[in-house]
Amino acid sequence: MNDRIIVPLDVSSEEAAIALIDKLPKVTFWKVGLELFVSSGSNILKILKQREKRIFLDLKFHDIPNTVAGACAAAARFGVDLITIHATAGKTALEQAQRAIESNTPEGATPSKLIAITVLTSLSARSLAFELKIPLELPEYALEMALLAKESGLSGAVCSPHEVAQLRQVCGDEFVLVCPGVRPTWAAAGDQQRIMTPKAAIAAGATYLVIGRPITAADDPVGAFDRICEELAE
């Protein structure tokens, strides 16, 4: 089960990232987000590849089609496993980004999987309706974004564990579903609005779980990671 847990490198420097990687040797899949990437650049990707770790490059691309296609082409050349793009960039951007990955994958390598952000887990139904003025109910909107991604040729989507069962049923078994907002019962919710336990999220149909602070901010990060893996294996 440890291969299905993605741990975020949500730190502000390359040195801190390396220290965290060294502290958690059993973690095989790491997420590189905006803070670390802006701080260290692509060098952190090279470090993770050298250590034979899998990489979730979570930069949430959102721009005009030509720009996101160029960004995805560059990311694909690093051989990362997952790349995120906002579904709200639109179908043309999604399609061009997917083609860019396919045409820029190094020879003999497995293409990166492009996955779409449906709704950020920090957003509540109220935020969607009153702040973003989106008239759809939150689960319906997440499903529409996931279907747009699938129709555009993408490999999967990022969604709250509360939407994952419906997306799995509609989008099929091969569609990759990555779930942040996953918290063990013994961990604080933090700023996530729509959360679920790791075991329940896997049972609902999640492919991968993104679990950060319950592990990285724990007094004993190694023990916290092992405890989650044990709970999933029960």
Catalytic residue ranges: 60
Helices 91-104 and 65-77, packing angle to 10 deg? 30
Are the CB atoms for 185 and 197 separated by under 8 Å?
yes
Q: Which residues of 59-73 are buried (b: 16+ CB within 10 A; e: fewer)?
A: bbbbeebeebbbbbb
Count how many Cα atoms sit within 13 Å of the Cα of residue 58 in the half-sphere of its side chain: 22
User: Rounded to whole angstroms, what are the CA distances from 28 to 64, 159, 166, 208, 233?
Assistant: 33, 21, 28, 12, 17
**Cα separation of 115 and 177, whole Å?**
8
- Half-sphere exposure of residue 60: CA atoms within 13 angstroms, side-chain side: 10
**C-alpha–C-alpha distance, residues 30 and 23, integer Å:** 13
Specify the residue for token string 């109910």.
137
Q: What does each C-alpha distance from 113 to 24, 100, 161, 207 come to in angstroms?
A: 25, 12, 20, 13
The pair of three-digit structure tokens given for residue 84, joined into one six-digit string = 């995120």
